[in-house]
């Protein structure tokens, strides 16, 4: 019994931290309508900031706490509201979510820049070693203080939200900002207060839980995934239910950990299962819960989805293969090996277009489907069997249909959370399972964490060589890009766009929403599996780190920033992430920095090695440019270039001349690459004026006018 009480005390401490984190999450969502995926990253940043002041600078603990939680945290919340969140008022829910994801990635990258992850940073508990003995149970003072803080937070939030005029205004501003303003309140001041308090609660949770997680950036950032379950139990708006959910979650985690030896399965499955308990609880809560069909909001979103032409899509596909074949002759073989992964990542990026760009279903688990594709190729394609590629498409497609089942009952942020929970479950448990025996067969899903993949053979023709694999990957990417365009131009694509615009209206008109959702997820997951197979074959040795949840978020962010409905954006995402374009560009800039400016050289070197910061900063611009730079900057100009044969001939001729000069050895690869980038991006911008787009209309490539509304029909 005493052991049970000990586990209960430990569980209460864990539950208290989850409650504080979830309370901040619920507060910002209830009062601003933005679900903050960066909540855990804020917790992490608060914990590292406190450690720096307390243990690196040796400030007294009370002073460090006051500065960290009483000054820096609220100022950071105000900065977030003023600089980022205020620009999301008229944006879709997807744009709001991906903006907070970009913030999460940027803060994670910033922490890895400022605090070397390989360095150990001891973080003792408050009042380390001091305990309170109650009924024979030793309760650390740290746990007592955590429980006391949680009670104060609960009481303070209840009093403010229920008993003050300002609290009522905070709850009302998310429903109708204009009406709140007419009643004398100041919506932006209320939003700043909400973000300020939410940030303080996040930082408090980070400081309290850091001693348990040993001050590691990624686990602290993903702390919010554990808090999601508690917040969802409270339906993202009910604080008492949120605290109750945190209590259930904390106790369940500690009881499972304490009694793991009694679990009815082998001990080797226990560690991953224990780490997944909060995620499993989140999935259960989401699946058993329900969210209504989403109708139109009063405002109109600013995203547009263009309808590409067959001629333009075929031209891009042929151009990709042709350029890949030409480049394979001038790029060194070692660089070709690195570039081989570009096409796999590009296909995974293409898989996001049907499900997110067309269907509006925010999937955060594409790299998990890609990992399944890798597993299929490794286990079934050891001799280069091409049928392994079929399995790499079919098995993820079937899994995607299973993942899509909650979408029948869930929509919006709830469904996005279910895909995030699935991705984290795969990371923490499924991909890490050791070898086991089931149904008379030996199973080793990820071969102990690393897969060695053979490249495919077709009718005796091997794709093993780096040059042939590079061209082969380009051809597969080109075919998939044309298939994605075919989806957009089909009647099914039109139904997906209608589903994205208003599921409620589609249901009213008799559309079979379930079939549409299952179909688009099956297609998307199958394409991600194919991309994962080529991605793994490009690397030839893949680890679980390459298909983690954070990798899915990074790929999604690059696609959204570039333009989520454009195959050209998928090509950019593949090159940017597969070739390490960020590292190459900033590394070259650092090489040209004079020696006397050593700090600048160090800055660009750091920036080049930290993709997360660049992606995060770029993503923060989505409030102003929700369509991405490909859709709003490059694509419209290239549409007009394709309609001007003389301009197209001039650009093509310039590229041919540059290639011949490179072949002749007069310039190196870098000068050729710079010239090609200038010709493909700067020249169209110089010779074609920027097309004008209204907030509601986008002119399609073939002249069809596509109207995307988020307001009521009939406007």
Mean pLDDT of all residues in 61-85: 92
User: 288, 303, 334: which is the final residue of a domain?
Assistant: 288
Percentage with pLDDT > 70 across the chain? 82
In this structure, the answer to whether residues 39 and 171 fall within a common structural domain is yes
Does the residue 655 lie in any domain? no
| Torsions phi, psi for 250 (to 5 deg) | -65, -45
In this structure, the answer to whether residues 64 and 164 fall within a common structural domain is yes
In this structure, the answer to whether residues 384 and 520 fall within a common structural domain is yes
User: 244, 271, 288: which is the final residue of a domain?
Assistant: 288
Report the distance separating Cα 237 and Cα 240, nearest Å: 9
User: 572, 596, 613: which is the final residue of a domain?
Assistant: 572
Pairing of strands 436-438, 457-458: unpaired
Mean pLDDT of all residues in 150-178: 76
Number of Cβ within a 10 Å radius of residue 21: 30
pLDDT higher than threshold 60 for residue 544: yes
Does the residue 695 lie in any domain? no
| Torsions phi, psi for 140 (to 5 deg) | -60, 145
In this structure, the answer to whether residues 188 and 328 fall within a common structural domain is no
The count of domains in the chain is 2
pLDDT of residue 299: 43
Pairing of strands 461-462, 457-458: antiparallel
CATH code of the domain containing 251: 1.10.3470
Report the distance separating Cα 711 and Cα 695, nearest Å: 12
Q: How confident is the model at residue 655 (pLDDT cuts 50, 70, 90)?
A: confident
Please report which residue ranges of 353-509 form alpha helices under DSSP H. Answer: 366-380, 387-404, 413-428, 466-489, 491-501, 503-508
- 439-446: long-range pairs with CB below 8 Å, 24+: 445/375, 446/371, 446/375, 446/544
Structure tokens at 172: 């009302």
In this structure, the answer to whether residues 346 and 396 fall within a common structural domain is yes
Does the residue 602 lie in any domain? no
In this structure, the answer to whether residues 322 and 392 fall within a common structural domain is yes
In this structure, the answer to whether residues 157 and 49 fall within a common structural domain is yes
pLDDT higher than threshold 50 for residue 527: yes
Does the residue 445 lie in any domain? yes
- Position with higher pLDDT, 636 vs 41: 41
The whole-chain average pLDDT of the chain stands at 81
In this structure, the answer to whether residues 344 and 219 fall within a common structural domain is no
pLDDT of residue 298: 39
In this structure, the answer to whether residues 326 and 274 fall within a common structural domain is no
pLDDT higher than threshold 80 for residue 223: no
- Cβ neighbours of residue 121 closer than 8 Å, sequence gap 6 or more: 51, 55, 115, 214, 215
Max distance between CA atoms of the chain, in angstroms, equals: 88
Does the residue 591 lie in any domain? no
Strand partners, 137: 134
pLDDT of residue 614: 81
In this structure, are residues 260 and 276 in contact, taking their beta carbons and an 8 Å threshold? no
Q: Which of 691, 672, 645, 617 is nearest to 106 (CA)?
A: 617
Does the residue 482 lie in any domain? yes
pLDDT higher than threshold 60 for residue 266: no
pLDDT of residue 173: 62
Does the residue 404 lie in any domain? yes
In this structure, the answer to whether residues 494 and 540 fall within a common structural domain is yes
**Cα separation of the two ends of the chain:** 67
Q: How confident is the model at residue 483 (pLDDT cuts 50, 70, 90)?
A: very high
CA distances from 80 to 39, 103, 173, 632 (A): 12, 9, 18, 25
Does the residue 336 lie in any domain? yes
Q: How confident is the model at residue 184 (pLDDT cuts 50, 70, 90)?
A: low
Comparing 62-76, 184-198, 484-498, 576-590, the range with the smallest average pLDDT is 576-590
Q: How confident is the model at residue 645 (pLDDT cuts 50, 70, 90)?
A: confident
In this structure, the answer to whether residues 128 and 203 fall within a common structural domain is yes
In this structure, the answer to whether residues 176 and 48 fall within a common structural domain is yes
pLDDT tens readout for residues 554-571:
999 889 888 888 888 899
| Domain carrying residue 50 | 2-288
Q: How confident is the model at residue 203 (pLDDT cuts 50, 70, 90)?
A: very high
Mean pLDDT of all residues in 684-702: 49
């Amino acid at each position: 019994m005493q052991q049970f009480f000990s586990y209960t005390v430990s569980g209460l401490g864990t539950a208290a931290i989850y409650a504080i984190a979830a309370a901040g999450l619920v507060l910002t969502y209830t009062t601003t309508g933005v679900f903050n995926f960066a909540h855990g990253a804020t917790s992490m940043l608060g914990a590292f900031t406190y450690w720096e002041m307390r243990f690196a600078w040796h400030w007294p603990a009370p002073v460090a706490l006051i500065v960290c939680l009483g000054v820096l945290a609220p100022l950071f919340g105000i900065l977030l509201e003023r600089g980022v969140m205020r620009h999301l008022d008229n944006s879709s829910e997807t744009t709001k979510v991906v903006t907070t994801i970009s913030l999460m990635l940027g803060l994670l990258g910033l922490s890895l820049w400022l605090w070397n992850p390989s360095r150990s940073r001891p973080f003792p508990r408050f009042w380390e070693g001091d305990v309170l003995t109650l009924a024979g149970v030793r309760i650390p003072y740290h746990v007592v203080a955590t429980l006391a803080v949680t009670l104060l937070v609960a009481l303070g939030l209840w009093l403010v939200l229920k008993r003050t005029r300002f609290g009522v205004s905070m709850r009302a501003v998310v429903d109708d900002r204009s009406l709140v303003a007419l009643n004398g309140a100041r919506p932006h001041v209320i939003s700043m207060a909400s973000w300020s308090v939410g940030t303080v609660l996040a930082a408090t949770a980070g400081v309290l839980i850091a001693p348990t997680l040993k001050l590691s950036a990624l686990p602290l950032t993903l702390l919010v995934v554990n808090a999601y379950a508690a917040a969802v139990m409270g339906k993202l708006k009910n604080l008492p239910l949120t605290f109750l959910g945190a209590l259930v979650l904390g106790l369940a985690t500690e009881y499972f950990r304490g009694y793991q030896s009694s679990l009815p399965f082998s001990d080797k499955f226990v560690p991953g299962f224990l780490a997944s308990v909060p995620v499993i609880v989140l999935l259960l809560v989401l699946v058993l819960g329900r969210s209504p069909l989403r109708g139109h909001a009063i405002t109109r979103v600013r995203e547009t989805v263009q309808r590409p032409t067959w001629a333009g899509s075929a031209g891009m596909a042929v151009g990709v293969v042709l350029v890949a074949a030409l480049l394979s002759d001038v790029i060194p073989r070692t660089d070709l090996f690195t570039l081989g992964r570009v096409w796999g990542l590009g296909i995974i990026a293409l898989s996001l277009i049907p499900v997110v760009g067309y269907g509006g279903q925010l999937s955060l688990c594409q790299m998990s489907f890609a990992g399944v594709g890798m597993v299929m190729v490794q286990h079934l394609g050891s001799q280069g069997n091409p049928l392994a590629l079929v399995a790499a498409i079919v098995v993820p497609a079937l899994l995607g249909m299973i993942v899509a089942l909650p979408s029948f009952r869930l929509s919006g942020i709830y469904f996005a959370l279910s895909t995030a929970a699935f991705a984290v479950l795969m990371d923490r448990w499924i991909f890490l399972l050791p070898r086991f025996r089931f149904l008379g067969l030996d199973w080793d899903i990820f071969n102990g964490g690393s897969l060695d993949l053979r490249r495919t053979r077709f009718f005796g023709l091997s794709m093993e060589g780096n040059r042939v694999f590079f061209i082969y990957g380009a051809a597969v990417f080109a075919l998939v890009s044309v298939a994605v365009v075919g989806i957009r131009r089909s009647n099914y694509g039109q139904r997906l766009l209608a589903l994205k615009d208003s599921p409620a209206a589609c249901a009213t008109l008799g559309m079979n929403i379930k079939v549409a959702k299952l179909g688009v997820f099956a297609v998307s997951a199958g394409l991600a599996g194919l991309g994962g197979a080529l991605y793994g074959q490009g690397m030839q040795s893949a680890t679980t780190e390459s298909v983690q949840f954070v990798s899915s978020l990074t790929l999604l962010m690059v696609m959204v920033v570039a333009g989520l409905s454009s195959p050209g954006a998928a090509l950019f995402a593949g090159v940017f992430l597969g070739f390490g374009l960020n590292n190459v560009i900033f590394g070259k800039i650092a090489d040209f920095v004079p020696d006397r400016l050593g700090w600048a050289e160090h800055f660009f070197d750091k920036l080049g090695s930290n993709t997360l910061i660049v992606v995060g900063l770029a993503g923060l611009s989505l409030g102003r440019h929700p369509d991405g730079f490909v859709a709003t900057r490059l694509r419209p100009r290239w549409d007009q270039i394709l309609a001007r044969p003389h301009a197209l001939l001039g650009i093509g001729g310039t590229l041919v001349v540059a290639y011949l000069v490179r072949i002749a050895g007069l310039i190196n690869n870098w000068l050729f690459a710079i010239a090609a980038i200038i010709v493909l991006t700067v020249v169209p911008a110089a010779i074609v004026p920027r097309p004008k787009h209204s907030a509601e209309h986008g002119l399609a490539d073939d002249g069809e006018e596509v109207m995307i509304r988020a307001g009521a029909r009939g406007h």
